[in-house]
Every structure is written in C-alpha cells, then in structure tokens.
Structure 1
Amino acid sequence: MAQIRQCYAVLFRNEWAVWVGGALFGILNVALFFYDQPWTTLDGALNWGDSILGALGVVRARADPPLIRTGSVINLGLLAGAFAAALLARQFSINIGPKRELLKGAVGGLLLGTGAAIARGCNIGGFFSATSAFGANGLAMALGLTLGAFAGVRFLLWEVEHSASSGAVPSPAPVATSRRRIQPYLGALVLLGLIVGAALYEGLGIEKRALILLFGAALGIISQRSRVCFVQGFREPFLTGDTRHTRAMLLGLLISMVGFAAIEITFLEKEGAFIRETFWMGSLIGGVIFGFGMVLAGGCGAGSIWRAGEGNVKLMVAVAGYALSASFVRDVLVRTGLQQQLGVKVFLPEVFGGWTGAIAVLAMIIAVWYAITRWNQASRKLAAV
C-alpha cells in the first residue's frame, strides 16, 4: 500500500519536469507515426467543425462521426486524459474568468482555426510533426509561429499599458474540500471509462481507434502533469525570457526527428508522408495568424484542448472557435481554389542530397535555436519584462 501511495504521489501530486513532457511528446509522436500517422489536432478540429457547420449547410463537407474519425478520437482522448489527470491530482476546477478573457479566447480560437486551415496544420501537425517528417513547411510554420507570437506579446503589453486597472484580478472560486477529496476517485472512473471505450472499439472491429484513443489519453496526462506548453515555448522568450518550455519543445522535436528518420528510411511507404503543399506562403502566413491567436487565447491547438479538460472555460471557448473557423476557412479555400496556391511540397532529403544532409541541417537548426534560447535567458535581450 505504501508503494502504491508513493507511486501515486510521483505521478499525480508532484508536478513533472517540463523537459520530461517534451521528451515524452517526441517518443509518442514517433510511436503514432509508426502505428498510423503523426500527431495533429487539426484533423479532429476540422471533423468537429464540419459536423456542426455541415449539418447547418454552411460548409459542403460531410463529416465522419466524431467517435469514428481518427483525428477526433485522439483529440477526445487528449481531452479525457487531461480531465482524468486533473481529477487524480485534485486540480480540476471550473474557471470562467472575466468576460474580456472569454472574448480573447473566442477571437484567439477563431485565429487558431484560420491559421491552421491556411497552413494545413496546427502548431503540432503543421510545425512539430511536419518538421519531424522533414518537410520544409514545418520550418516555414516555425518562423510564422515565432513572428505571430512576437506580435501577440506586443499586443498583450499594449493591452496591459492601456487597460484601466479595476483592482483585484478575479480568481476562480475555490473547490470545496469535500469535492476535492472525491476527485481522485472520479479520475480513476474516467480512466476506467477510457479503457472500456478502447475495449468497445476493439469489440466493434475498429482496433485502430482503440489504440489511438489511448495514445490521446496518454498525451493528455503528460500535458496536464508536465504543463509543457508550445505557447510558452514561443511566447516566453519575448516576454519573460524563460526558455524551459522552448527547450522542452526542442528536445521533443529532436527525438521525434530521429525517430521519423529511422521509420522513413526503413519503411519506404512512409517516406515523405505528412508533408503539405504549403511551403512557403501557406505555412508562413498560417503560422503568423496561428501564433498570434495562440498567444491571445493562451493555448495552442493541443494546449487549448487539454486545458479545457482541466475546466478552463476560456480555452473551451477557444476550442469551439478553433473547430468552427478551421472548417469554414478550409471550405472557403477549397471552393475558391486558393488551397492549391498556398505553396508546394518540399521534402528536405531531396533538397540536401539525401538523409545525411537533411538530418545534419535540421540538427543544426535545432542546435542554433537552442543556443539562442540559452543566450536570451542569460542576457534577456529579447525579453520585454
């Protein structure tokens, strides 16, 4: 019993190091790529948006059932996993926040969907997974996310400077002690529900969804416990100079890149997979819009989903905006033919004469990015506060 309590404390009472979350992101992304396809939240968000707007006749897309579509299933697993982890850690709390923050969540979510539709990927699929797959579109989106985050930070600083102070900042109402005591038991029930859900998929003969659901749940638990955050990874170097999340993100990217390379070299049918025809314009412009939106909302594609699972209403609003705008903007791009004009597909091993050159170039980019973050943390040259 003492060992069980100790294990529980390590997993759900003590917060995990951010770098652990980044490393586990990289490992699970490799596993997802090997099993099916890399991690992205856009596919699921599009499915949710298409389900609503398609039923209303706003878009032409006819969505698969959300419980069947793979991208939706992994997003639902992410949401449920974070919900379970928050309960097990006694950290679940409905946090509504002031109306101004809810408005920023809505606008930020709309920008997330718009940027993701243009780039054909969120910060995970369009940057993290695309770069891991050796797509130049991932690097273009990284630049766009950086520029968008910088603009977002400048806006937040302007907002603080020009906003009239209203005294104390509203805080969420504390959760009653009695309710906190039962949260771990509810969390265990949520985990049990995930296992039952996976078993049902297995019984229905759609085994792939079973494992995808569990992958999503694992990502949700990792996110909630480590607090690893791509928004902070792009925002904080320009705001406070803190680079913990940036370095965790780069560690995950390095692990993911190495794993993807091994898979693509070994399994030729995977070579060049998950690279979109959005280099450079679509990825750059979409990245700028997405980067600004994620700073405004306080969550990226994945971050908004898992923090919604903790009870953050602002991020729930952001997820709704993300799904609806992604569906609508994608429909406009397809109808007008603009989607075919956003760029081309660029596979880095074809540009740099093979895998050795491509791996060396990406590793060098990651190393330079890491060095800049360390320099900035020490000098605070890029930090605003």
Structure 2
Amino acid sequence: MWLTFKNQFFIKFWSPFAAVIAAGILSTYFFGLTGSLWAVTGEFTRWGGHVLQWFGAEPETWQYFKIIGLNGTPLDRVGGVMILGMFGGCMAAVLWANNLKLRMPSSKKRIAQALIGGMIAGFGARLAMGCNLAAFFTGIPQFTLHAWIFAFAAAAGTYIGAKITLLPFFRSTATLKAGGLKKIAKPNPNQVQNRFRLGWVVFAAMIGLSLYVMQSSTKLGIAMFMGMMFGLLIERAQICFTSAFRDMWITGRTHMAKAIILGMAVSVIGIYSYVQLGMTPKTLWAGPNAVIGGLLFGIGIVIAGGCETGWMYRALEGQVHFWWVGIGNIVGATILAYYWDVVAEPLATSWDKVNLLDVFGPLGGLAVTYLLLGLSFVLILMWEKHFFSKQKREQQAVAAKLAALAANKELAANKELATSTQA
C-alpha cells in the first residue's frame, strides 16, 4: 500500500489539470494572508539590482526600483522568501522522484537561445510589470485590465515565437554516432532510496525554516511555506505556461491552457471575496507597456523554451539550459529597470490604472471577468477544433496525392506491359 502511494504521489508526475487549479486556490490564499501576489520577476529584478550594488552601482536611485522597492535583502521581502520556498519545494520534489541529473545543452546554439530568449522575456515581463504570474495567472483574478491586455498580447507573442523557432536556424542538428543506441541504465536502488530520504530532509528543513521565520514575521513565514507548496506543485505537475501556449499553436494540444483558465476562474471568486472584505486588488497601468511587454514576453519564453516558473524547476532538475534562461531573465529585467525612465511616461505611467470592479461595479466586474474567461475558453476550443480539422484535411490531401501517384504508376506499368505484349 505504501509503495503504491509513494509511486502515485512522489514518483509519478501529477495531473497538471488538478495541479493548476490547486495553484489557483493557493495563490488566492497567498494574497489573502500576505497581501501580495504569487509573482517572481519583480524579485528577480531586485536580485539584479543587488548584483549591481556589489559592483558599486546605485540602482536604488533608479525610478524603477523606487516603484518596486530595493530595501533590505531577499530574506526581508515577501517575494524573496517565497521564491526561496519555491526552490526548496522544487528540490524536495526532484529528490523524491529521483529526477536529478545533470543534463548539458545539446549545442552552443541552445545556450544562445536560452540566454537571449530569457533576456527578451525578462525585459518584456518587467515592462508589463508582471510575467505569466502577476500579469496573467494571478493578475487576471485581481480584476486589473492590464492583465487582460498582457494575456492576449503574450498569446500573440507565443504564436510569433512558435513560428520563429520553426525556422531552419533554430532547428537542432542531431547526428547519429556509430555504436547504436546506448543501453538505458537502470537507477541505482540505493541512490533512489537515499535521494528520497534527502527529499524529506529538505522538506522538513523548509518547514522548520518557515516556522523559524514566522516567529519574527508571520507574513514572511507564511510566504516561505506557501512558496514551498508552489514549488511542489510546479515540479510534480511540470507546470509550464510556455508549453501551454506553444503546444496549442504547434501540436493543437490545449489541456494545459484549459487548466490555466479554470485555475484562474477558481481564483477569481476567492480574490473577489477578499476584496469585499476590504483588501485592495493590485491594479497597474493599462497602457502600451502591457501590449509590447506581453508580445516580447511571449516571443522570449518560446525562444528560451521556458517561462519564469518553468525554468526554476527544470534548473533544479539539472537541466543546464534553464540555468541560462534564469540568468537571461534577471539580466533582461535589470536592463528594463535601467531604461525605465525613458519608456515609463509614454508607455506606462501616463496611462490609467483600470480595475474592472471600479468600472463595472463589484458584481459587474465579477461578471465581466467570468465572461472574458468563458470567451477565452471557447476560443481555445475553437482553435483546437480548427487545428485538428486542418490537420485532417492536410492528411487526406497527402493521402489522395499518394493514391493518385500510385494509380498513375500502375497505369504506366499496365501500358508498358500491354506494349511489350503486342510486340
């Protein structure tokens, strides 16, 4: 019985459908208990600022850091301890499943894609003041119009990114080596058992650290603990927003995209309840920054191969490619912070912060949000139907062409046989 339970919940990957909905519920409580959103790129930008401080720069004087804050260390901020918790949760899950293995990029081209794509995504995310989380998954339930603008722009960006990655330049050139296929090595039972135990050590350590932090700051302790739960979810269910969009455009698979819509739908009512209790939703500028940032973010994550949550758990699994994606994210976000004064007024700060609850009233804003989520779900279903119908037509056309070629060959062969018989 224990082996079945262990295999089901610690070894096998979880259903992304259920996990994304669980993440939506957890993000709602995260907002209610900490007053912050489940978000990562803002904190990554601060990390870039801290690195610059080590080299004698003064990024704390930049206007962007005056907006998002650069005081203290990551351990003093909700976002910082939450991300630390996410890394801890991811690592525990990786060890439980014995999914830790150093995997190098297949080529230098892949490293360049990871770094450049990560930089584009990081720049775009911070231009829009949020990534696939704060400006999408946890942003839309906040009823902020800018999140909807970002979401549709990011979807368009991933479509463009998918087309770019299909170009010959981006295709990897695999070569076959002599010697045939390598025999797949069986996992060492001792290693599997030791890593499983180590996973529990990491898990227990994160809980202990959360309780310790909670003694000095309840909010920070809760943020760390919930970050750990986010980490477990994204690694065990392999939640990646990049694949949700990319797969929809390239393979027609919409399972993850549907789950994301349902996860937000569940979160919306929870956030609405907290707002009715007096909490203030996070609303940002609904300007061109959301459009441009969303497009860049969508293009960047597809080129890089991972989003802000996807690269975190994959990096801890030992996939070196995603180390470069993470570095690119931080670099791109920091570059945006440096140039913020140039783009802020025309693209962001001169535009209104629009919250649907203010525009349509509490019930009206709730209804409009669910209407837009429903419309998004229908559009996904329509795209899925269109994709597979088109694919079927193309397959039928190819089959008909092959049948015609075969018929022509048979006809030619019959004519040749008739001619030789007459002769």
1:274 to 282, 292, 317: 282
C-alpha distance 115-379 of structure 1, shift in aligned 2 (>3 A): same
Residue 202 of structure 1 pairs with residue 218 of structure 2: no
Give the deviation of 1:295 after TM superposition.
0.8
- Asked if the contact 2:214–2:222 (Cα under 8 Å) also holds between the matched residues in 1, the reply is no
Output aligned runs, 1:172-251, within 5 Å: 177=188, 178-203=190-215, 205-251=216-262
Amino acid at match of 1:332: Y
C-alpha distance 115-69 of structure 1, shift in aligned 2 (>3 A): same
Output aligned runs, 1:1-385, within 5 Å: 2=1, 4-36=2-34, 37-58=36-57, 60-61=59-60, 62-98=70-106, 99-159=108-168, 164-167=173-176, 177=188, 178-203=190-215, 205-267=216-278, 270-271=279-280, 273-277=281-285, 279-334=286-341, 336=342, 338=344, 341-342=347-348, 343-352=351-360, 354-380=361-387
Larger radius of gyration: 2
Structure 1 CA distance, aligned partners of 2:339 and 2:390?
Answer: 38
Amino acid at match of 1:180: V
- Asked if the contact 1:47–1:72 (Cα under 8 Å) also holds between the matched residues in 2, the reply is no
Q: Which shows bigger deviation, 241-250 or 375-384?
A: 375-384
TM-score by length of 2: 0.82
Give the deviation of 1:9 after TM superposition.
2.5
TM-score by length of 1: 0.90
**For residues 196-242 of structure 1, what are the alpha-carbon distances to aligned partners after superposition, in whole Å with 9 as ceiling and x for unaligned?**
21132134x12222111111110111111112221122211111000
**For residues 171-207 of structure 1, what are the alpha-carbon distances to aligned partners after superposition, in whole Å with 9 as ceiling and x for unaligned?**
9x9685243332111111111220221132134x122
Give the deviation of 1:377 after TM superposition.
2.4
Give the deviation of 1:162 after TM superposition.
6.3
Structure 2 CA distance, aligned partners of 1:161 and 1:148?
Answer: 17
- Asked if the contact 1:194–1:214 (Cα under 8 Å) also holds between the matched residues in 2, the reply is yes
Q: Which shows bigger deviation, 286-295 or 222-231?
A: 222-231
- Asked if the contact 1:109–1:317 (Cα under 8 Å) also holds between the matched residues in 2, the reply is yes
- Asked if the contact 2:42–2:126 (Cα under 8 Å) also holds between the matched residues in 1, the reply is no
Structure 2 CA distance, aligned partners of 1:190 and 1:118?
Answer: 35
- Asked if the contact 2:165–2:171 (Cα under 8 Å) also holds between the matched residues in 1, the reply is no
- Asked if the contact 2:238–2:310 (Cα under 8 Å) also holds between the matched residues in 1, the reply is no
C-alpha distance 212-175 of structure 1, shift in aligned 2 (>3 A): farther
Amino acid at match of 2:344: L
Amino acid at match of 1:265: Q
- Asked if the contact 1:85–1:187 (Cα under 8 Å) also holds between the matched residues in 2, the reply is yes
Give the deviation of 1:357 after TM superposition.
1.8
Amino acid at match of 2:59: R
Give the deviation of 1:379 after TM superposition.
3.2
- Asked if the contact 1:237–1:382 (Cα under 8 Å) also holds between the matched residues in 2, the reply is no
Structure 1 CA distance, aligned partners of 2:145 and 2:334?
Answer: 25
Structure 1 CA distance, aligned partners of 2:173 and 2:203?
Answer: 44
For structure 1, which runs of at least 5 residues remain unmatched after alignment? none
Structure 1 CA distance, aligned partners of 2:282 and 2:51?
Answer: 26
Give the deviation of 1:372 after TM superposition.
2.1
C-alpha distance 161-71 of structure 1, shift in aligned 2 (>3 A): closer
Structure 1 CA distance, aligned partners of 2:39 and 2:118?
Answer: 16
Give the deviation of 1:376 after TM superposition.
2.5
Structure 1 CA distance, aligned partners of 2:327 and 2:100?
Answer: 20
**For residues 131-183 of structure 1, what are the alpha-carbon distances to aligned partners after superposition, in whole Å with 9 as ceiling and x for unaligned?**
11000000000011111100110011113786655347x99x96852433321
Query: Which residue does the alignment assign to 2:406?
Result: none
- Asked if the contact 1:376–1:382 (Cα under 8 Å) also holds between the matched residues in 2, the reply is no
How many positions carry a matched residue from both structures? 374
Amino acid at match of 2:251: T
Structure 2 CA distance, aligned partners of 1:160 and 1:337?
Answer: 32
Describe the SS at the equivalent of 1:67: helix
Structure 1 CA distance, aligned partners of 2:136 and 2:168?
Answer: 28
- Asked if the contact 1:44–1:74 (Cα under 8 Å) also holds between the matched residues in 2, the reply is no
For structure 2, which runs of at least 5 residues remain unmatched after alignment? 61-69, 395-423
Aligned-CA RMSD value: 2.4
- Asked if the contact 2:125–2:297 (Cα under 8 Å) also holds between the matched residues in 1, the reply is yes
Describe the SS at the equivalent of 2:290: helix
Describe the SS at the equivalent of 1:380: helix
- Asked if the contact 1:82–1:309 (Cα under 8 Å) also holds between the matched residues in 2, the reply is yes
Structure 2 CA distance, aligned partners of 1:265 and 1:31?
Answer: 15
